C-alpha cells in the first residue's frame, strides 16, 4: 500500500496507465462509491468514459442518494447527502466535475456559491403540507417493543448479526415510529438493510 499526503496527491496528476484505451471497467451499483469509482477512472485513470459500464438493479440510479416523488408520501430522498464545508472527502471529486448548466464552472463552485447566496439552517426533521413543520422534533414515538429491540440490538455481538436484516431483529411497530423516519432519511436505511450495520451506527451515534 502506498501512502502520501492527501493534499499533495490532490494537486498532482498521475501518469496515464499503459494500455488503458484497451481496457474496460464494470462497476456494480450507482451509489456514491460506484459513481466516484467511475469518476477516478476517467480523471486519474484516463480511461475513456464509454469503456466504463455501470450496472444498477434498481429503477433509479444514485443508490442512497436517489430522490423521487411518491404519490402517497411526496418528494423524498432515502438519504440526505447535502454538500457542506466539512465534507472534505467530496471536495476533490466535485472540483473536477463540470457543471451541467454553467460553462467553465465545477459542481464544487456551484455548491459554494449557493451556500454563500442562500445560507440556510433548520432543526426541522419532517414537514407536512408543502413545508410546514410536522413538529416531530424529539418525539421518537418508540413503543416498548421497539425500544427493547433497539436496546437488544445495541448489545448483541456482531457475530450473531451476520446475514441478518434489520427487519429480522426489529418489530413491526418500529416502522411507524418517528425514530425510523429520522433514521432512514438520515442514513438511507431500508427494512432490508444490514442489522450489523445498524448496530454499528447505533454504537457510534447513539
Taking the alpha carbons at both ends of the chain, their separation in whole angstroms is 34
**In this structure, what are the phi and psi dihedrals at residue 72, rounded to the nearest 5 degrees?**
-95, -35
Euclidean distance between CA atoms 164 and 197, whole angstroms: 10
The catalytic residue among 15, 59, 82, 88 is 82
59 is catalytic: no
Distance (Å) of CA 124 to CA 35, 53, 128, 135? 30, 39, 11, 8
Q: Cell numbers of 179, please? A: 425514530
- Does the active-site annotation cover 201? yes
Catalytic residue of the set 40, 76, 182, 201: 201
Q: Which residues are catalytic?
A: 82, 201
Amino acid at each position: 500500500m502506498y501512502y502520501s499526503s492527501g493534499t499533495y496527491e490532490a494537486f498532482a496528476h498521475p501518469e496515464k496507465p499503459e494500455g488503458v484505451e484497451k481496457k474496460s471497467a464494470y462497476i456494480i451499483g450507482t451509489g456514491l462509491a460506484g459513481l466516484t469509482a467511475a469518476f477516478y477512472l476517467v480523471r486519474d485513470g484516463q480511461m475513456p468514459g464509454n469503456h466504463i459500464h455501470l450496472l444498477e438493479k434498481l429503477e433509479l440510479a444514485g443508490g442512497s442518494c436517489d430522490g423521487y416523488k411518491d404519490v402517497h408520501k411526496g418528494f423524498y430522498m432515502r438519504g440526505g447527502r447535502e454538500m457542506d464545508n466539512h465534507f472534505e472527502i467530496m471536495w476533490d471529486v466535485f472540483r473536477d466535475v463540470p457543471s451541467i448548466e454553467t460553462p467553465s464552472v465545477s459542481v464544487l463552485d456551484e455548491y459554494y456559491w449557493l451556500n454563500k447566496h442562500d445560507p440556510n439552517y433548520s432543526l426541522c426533521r419532517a414537514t407536512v403540507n408543502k413545508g410546514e413543520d410536522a413538529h416531530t422534533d424529539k418525539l421518537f414515538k418508540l413503543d416498548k417493543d421497539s425500544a427493547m429491540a433497539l436496546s437488544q440490538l445495541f448489545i448483541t455481538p456482531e457475530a450473531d448479526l451476520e446475514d441478518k436484516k434489520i427487519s429480522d431483529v426489529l418489530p413491526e411497530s418500529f416502522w411507524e415510529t418517528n425514530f425510523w423516519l429520522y433514521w432512514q432519511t438520515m442514513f438511507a436505511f431500508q427494512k432490508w438493510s444490514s442489522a450489523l450495520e445498524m448496530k454499528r451506527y447505533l454504537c457510534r451515534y447513539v
